[in-house]
Amino acid sequence: MSNQKIIALNRFIVDFGGTTVGFQEVSGLEQKTEIISYEDGSFINGAAPYKYPGKTKYSESITLKRGYFKGDTEMQDWLEAIRSDDTARRNITITLLDESQNPMIVWNVMNVWPSEIGGLTLGAEKSEAAIEHITFAHEGYIMNLMP
């Protein structure tokens, strides 16, 4: 156990079907498996019930944040396309990398589409970079831990 390394969260790539797009942050990669409890007649005075895994549920969306670049309309164009064409969904891959840029964890997210774009808060006193957030609806994902 002493030779194990903690995985840093600051090196990752997001691939949209062959196009790698840079993002500052990814959130919403969450899943929860329901617990099914079962008791039968053999339980005596407070014995714990049997517990089994039930249905796994995924977060409804994944949110990505990135700098807002002049002339970059790809995500807005995709949002417009999905309104008229349900087949504009894509599969995306989010890959967490180690310090040598080798994949550590890979999330293959299925049937993704942008459901919200926003996050720009304008202010005369602000001097920081414009950061947009893009929320993606999806139909689940598969997480693979690399050796």
Tokens standing for residue 101 = 């840029």
Residues 57, 34 contacting (CB under 8 angstroms): yes
Residue type, 23: F
Q: How many CB atoms lie within 10 A of CB 67?
A: 12
CA gap 41, 45 in Å, rounded: 11
Sign, CA dihedral 106-54-136-111, equals positive
Q: How far apart are the first and last CA of the chain?
A: 15
Q: What does the pLDDT profile of the chain (147 residues) look like in tens digits?
A: 567 777 888 999 999 888 888 899 999 999 999 999 987 776 676 677 889 999 999 999 999 999 888 888 888 888 888 888 878 899 999 999 999 999 999 999 999 999 998 888 888 998 988 899 999 999 999 999 988
Instruction: Kindly list the distances between the CA atom of residue 77 and the CA atoms of 25, 84, 113, 142, in Å, as whole numbers in the listed order.
Output: 21, 11, 11, 27
| Confidence (pTM) | 0.82
CB atoms within 10 A of CB 38: 9
Domain ranges in the chain are 12-145
Domain at 12-145: CATH code: 2.30.110.20
H runs (alpha helix) in the chain: 74-84
